[in-house]
A and B are shown apart, each in its own frame.
Chain A
Amino acid sequence: MTNASPQSDISISDWHSLISHMENSINSTILGQEQIVRLITIATLSRGHILLEGDVGVGKTTLLKTVAETLGGNFERIEGTIDLMPHDLVYYTYIAENGKPGVSSGPVLKHGDELSIFFFNEINRARPQVHSLLLRIMAERSVHAFNQTHVFPHLQVFADRNRIEKDETFELPAAARDRFMMELHVEQPQAENQLKDLMFNPRFHDADKLVDSADKAIVPFQQLNHIAASIQDTVQASPTIKNYGYHLCRAIREPANYGISLSDVDSNTLIKGGMGPRGMSYLARGARVNAWLNEREAVIPEDFHTIIKQIAKHRIFLNPVYDYDRDAIIDSLLDSVLNTIQSP
């Protein structure tokens, strides 16, 4: 991943100001999503993919477009539909002006290795075959087509799923969900003045113009891999914090072993799986990035707290008998874990 990235010629302090500039630019374009923007920043600097979830019309697409604009690079978007097939991502066929059939690169291949953000809208409307292709793109950042392997070293996948409608949808398989670093729940802003602004300020009425008004290519996307690796190398994790992070992950998987009990739930049989090594790794990477964003040289427990729900929630698999109240049980489990595990 990093071998395709040019060495960064930007100093660490300059990177801080660039990231701060990027966040400010997004926040001035998208109102009331400061926390989501910070989490997207953490995922971007951890080189993790993001699954977005939320009500309709809360600005998910506008947010992602703005992020793509500020990061620079190329942005591609595809709508998940029931008849979408894997090859639709790779190529499309058409009748050319000369009347002959033509084949062109699809959204994934169109920009080659310059592809920066790939947005898959309503991912759960696509078939499992499409999910399967996406799995490879996310895990290996490459795809094999036209007899060659295409590599996308700077690719970050954002997907959106609509959990309100269930008809003609395909739930993401566990493996696909696990490949997303975070699942972010986007809600509409709560502040009255922000909602009034969104309602009456003409600036927010045209989404394309709004996105266009954001500062562009603030962060050199080609150097993101390098700065991401550099953050992981420079931010320290003491033995105490490693121990804490490890026990957090173990307690999520084995709550009964840590004396965690939830009301009306048998802790021994609650968890079926999830929060494996990939999730643990994402947690550590995200914690380091959060420490770096807060200009700390080492990770502290609060760095885990900032991201643990977004990292752990979608990769925990409950015993099916508890799925009816999944969100509340997992929230309660994570709260109990954070209240129980001590550090130091």
Chain B
Amino acid sequence: MRTKILIILSLVLLSCSSNKEEQPKKTNPPNITFTTVMNTSIAGEAITLNFKTNLLIANYKLQVKNAYGTILLNPDKSATENITFTIPKNFTRIAGPFRWKLLVNSETLDKGTHVIATNAPKATYVESYFGPRSITAGYNDFSMLTISPTDAYDNPLDNGTEVTVKYQFLENIDESKITTESFVAWYNVASTLTSGRILVTSECNGTASKELTTIVYPSNAVNFSISAASAHNFADGNQIITFTSDIIKDEFGNIVTNGTLVTFVIKNEKDAYLYTIGTTLNGIAIAKTLHPDKASKWEIQAFITGAAESNTTKFVFKPAIKDYPVHFSQGNRNIDIGPFESFMKQLIPDGLLVQLDIYDEEGMFIESKKTTTKDGVCTIFLGEYFLPDGDYVFKLTAAGITKEFTKTIYGDTIK
């Protein structure tokens, strides 16, 4: 066993002492002359870097470094006399300087810089952005058009490149020239006082950009006026009353955007605040609500919250129903109410709310019962499960008319 280990160990040692690996070559560095004349080029042009050397060895390397990264190149094999390096396309197409270093065994023999210029003549592309996409009419809003002209290889053109900006609004088409700075040219399109659509485009070296748009929306509304209209002014609880604004405009006379929300606040005779909502269409907001079912005085004012308000308009509802009969039967458990006659003695349309509040003799509230009329009448039945026999005070309210009865109710009515 021990011998075996010894043999293995010695084999290992022998293999370690192999003399192939270790032999640092202490040769003098070769003499190198850089023979390429041009140290500038235009993006896209092929670049070769040539060197003359007195020592032909294989391991020359060229390290090339630009803003995007670093690569290590081997010399072209065909050129044995002189060492030639061909810079790859993705380096020759990027404008700006790149630095190179000639290396042998990690030692720098020579270094230099090559500058690639943008290739504007070949083709110019224009990339442009325009935003925000909508602005408000007036003096202080604007959209910015940003243009970045590039050459065919996506290199931004040099500072000072001239860009033509064209602008259209209504009849007016303008043109102005600006220059790039730090690769971009920009132009602030100031908002107009009239709402509408502004189109812009730009041009550089004969290349035009696409059409870009911003919409000038109207500014905030200014005060407006409203009116109320209905088929009649009786409080029948059935007709619909319509509130209409005049054409709502902003301070510059633009009609406010469609869909602008207008709240019509109604204050009734009891100082309760009701409301209905309209949204504008061509500046006119229309809102509807139902007639009250009792005589009322409404004061209506409309708001575009924070921006504008309207005049206050009044609408007086006259009572449609003057009076109605009430009939108790079946031990006063069955209450027939009506017929309700409206302003022309016609039966009122179905659905008038009738409310019965029930109090006990001491005036303690027990419960409310609600029903609606059909064919001008309605019936409330007080089953004895609901109300035991006894004396009660009934307050009946319909169409704003309250009637009070004190009745004794009795008897089982379940058939």
Specify whether A and B are partners: no
